[in-house]
Amino acid sequence: MKFDYIVANPPYNKTLHLDVFKKCIDTLNDNGELVIIEPATWLIDLKDASTRSNAYKLYAPFKKELEGHIKSIEIENRNDDFSTSMIVPFSIVHYSKVPSMDKQIEFTCFGNKTYIDSIFDANFIGKKDIIDSIFNKIKSHDCVNNHILNSRNKNKENISYIRYRDISGRHSYPSNADKIKINDGRYFYSTYILPLIHHKDQQIYFTQPKNAKGKPSECVVGTYQELINYKHYVLSNNLPLFINICMTIDQNNNSLKYVPWLVDKQYTDDEIYKMFNFTQQEINLIEKTVRKFEYTSPFFIRHMTSINRVSDKEVQNFCDELDKRYPTNK
């Protein structure tokens, strides 16, 4: 049996919803249309092929199949509407069996409506080709993941320790206890900091510290001076913050393999941008993203709460101003 229209709300069991998505497409008539609501993980996951993650094995190939057939996408926190406690937001995708002539997609993300050229641009950050260019420029550099405490370095002499978190904890609108003030006075949700440094304990130790349960803590290690510089880096510079935001998909720490290890001195943002030869377009995306995710931004509050907390107009006006200040369109 074939159908003209399908509305689907499949089970949210790992990637089962994508299997249902594909099955629905198969059962549409030649002119059929589908609207499906599901977890947005497959859209917002920006991890690259080197991780061999679902993003590489499943999400990207499926998105390529959908190119030219998507009319609209909405990403929204619908936990209040459905009495759920989803860690990731919902996505509502409008698919047409007939390819679109202009191929533009109406994309609404937490109240910010834009028009995008590719389903790969339907994420929290922006154009996927700019994001990929930034990550390609930093991937050959030594990364923080090479400096976490493990069996190879735990007995080295003259090393110091600073804590980080492998699991970010809950992912809902934070209380005052969940926000952290960085060195320039801005506040961010601790989830965007703790993949690199513990939000409640930023002390540098000479022996491996223990967590609240008395077990050895996860630590980044280096010389004392390196960790002083590291602490400045993750609490002062935009690049590590940008990477944390890009890689915050769920409660897991996905950042360590991507954040460059820059600890030989205390860098300014401009020095880092020049080091990696970022274009002005790439710099603007980094700057715009960190401001979009500040603790008090309408976009961030809507992302963490619901449509009932911040209006579409508030988010749209805020994001339009950011686009004017930090243009990323070619």
Closest by CA to 244, choosing from 262, 265, 258, is 258
Same domain, 118 and 147: no
Confidence at residue 305, expressed as pLDDT on a 0 to 100 scale: 86
Domain limit, last residue, from 98, 123, 148: 123
Confidence at residue 201, expressed as pLDDT on a 0 to 100 scale: 92
Same domain, 177 and 277: yes
Residue pLDDT, tens place only, 300-330: 999 988 777 899 999 999 999 999 999 998 6
**Taking a C-beta distance cutoff of 8 angstroms, is the pair 237, 267 a contact?**
yes
The first and second tokens of residue 304, run together, are: 């963490």
Which neighbouring-strand residues pair with 8?
A: 36
Same domain, 147 and 16: no
Confidence at residue 86, expressed as pLDDT on a 0 to 100 scale: 87
Using alpha carbons, list the distances in angstroms from residue 281 to 63, 278, 324, 325. Answer: 25, 8, 12, 12
pLDDT band at 177, cuts 50/70/90? low
Confidence at residue 55, expressed as pLDDT on a 0 to 100 scale: 66
Residue pLDDT, tens place only, 232-279: 999 999 999 999 999 998 888 999 999 999 999 999 999 999 999 999
Can you tell me whether residue 115 is helix, strand or coil? strand
Whether residue 129 lies inside any domain: the answer is no
Q: Which residues of 114-135 are buried (b: 16+ CB within 10 A; e: fewer)?
A: bebebbbbbbbbbbbebbeebb
Same domain, 184 and 258: yes
Strand order in the sheet with 112-116: 3-8, 28-39, 90-96, 70-76, 105-109, 112-116
Residue pLDDT, tens place only, 6-47: 999 999 988 999 999 999 999 999 999 999 999 999 999 998
Residue pLDDT, tens place only, 83-96: 888 889 999 999 99
Determine the Cα angle at 15 with ends 14 and 16, to 5°: 95
Residue 172 has pLDDT above 70, yes or no: no
Same domain, 252 and 221: yes
HEC profile of 266-307: CCCHHHHHHHCCCCHHHHHHHHHHHHHCCCCCHHHHHHHCCC
**Residue 145 per-residue DSSP state:** G
Residues 6 or more apart whose Cβ sits within 8 Å of residue 233: 240, 262, 263, 266, 267
Residue 50 has pLDDT above 70, yes or no: no
Residue 97 has pLDDT above 90, yes or no: yes
Same domain, 110 and 176: no
Span of 132-141, 192-201, 230-239 with lowest mean pLDDT: 192-201
Residue 51 has pLDDT above 80, yes or no: no
The span from the CA of 223 to the CA of 158, in Å, is 6
Same domain, 174 and 312: yes
Q: Work out how many domains the chain is built from and give that number.
A: 2
pLDDT band at 174, cuts 50/70/90? low
pLDDT band at 155, cuts 50/70/90? confident
Domain limit, last residue, from 92, 123, 154: 123
The span from the CA of 91 to the CA of 75, in Å, is 4
Same domain, 113 and 192: no
Q: Strands, E, within the chain: which ranges? A: 3-8, 28-39, 70-76, 90-96, 105-109, 112-116, 160-163, 179-181, 187-189, 204-205, 219-222
Higher per-residue pLDDT: 54 or 4: 4
Higher per-residue pLDDT: 299 or 187: 299
State the first-to-last Cα distance of the chain, in angstroms, to the nearest integer. Answer: 46
Confidence at residue 170, expressed as pLDDT on a 0 to 100 scale: 54
Same domain, 165 and 236: yes
Same domain, 227 and 309: yes
The span from the CA of 12 to the CA of 73, in Å, is 18
Confidence at residue 167, expressed as pLDDT on a 0 to 100 scale: 81
Confidence at residue 250, expressed as pLDDT on a 0 to 100 scale: 83
Same domain, 216 and 111: no
The first and second tokens of residue 300, run together, are: 């961030």
Using alpha carbons, list the distances in angstroms from residue 113 to 77, 295, 298. Answer: 15, 21, 14
**Taking a C-beta distance cutoff of 8 angstroms, is the pair 120, 63 a contact?**
yes
How many Cα atoms occupy the beta-carbon half-sphere of 46 within 13 Å? 27
The span from the CA of 109 to the CA of 268, in Å, is 31
Confidence at residue 180, expressed as pLDDT on a 0 to 100 scale: 87
Higher per-residue pLDDT: 67 or 186: 67
Q: Which domain holds residue 182?
A: 136-325
Whether residue 330 lies inside any domain: the answer is no
Question: How much is the mean pLDDT over the chain?
Answer: 92
Residue 99 has pLDDT above 70, yes or no: yes
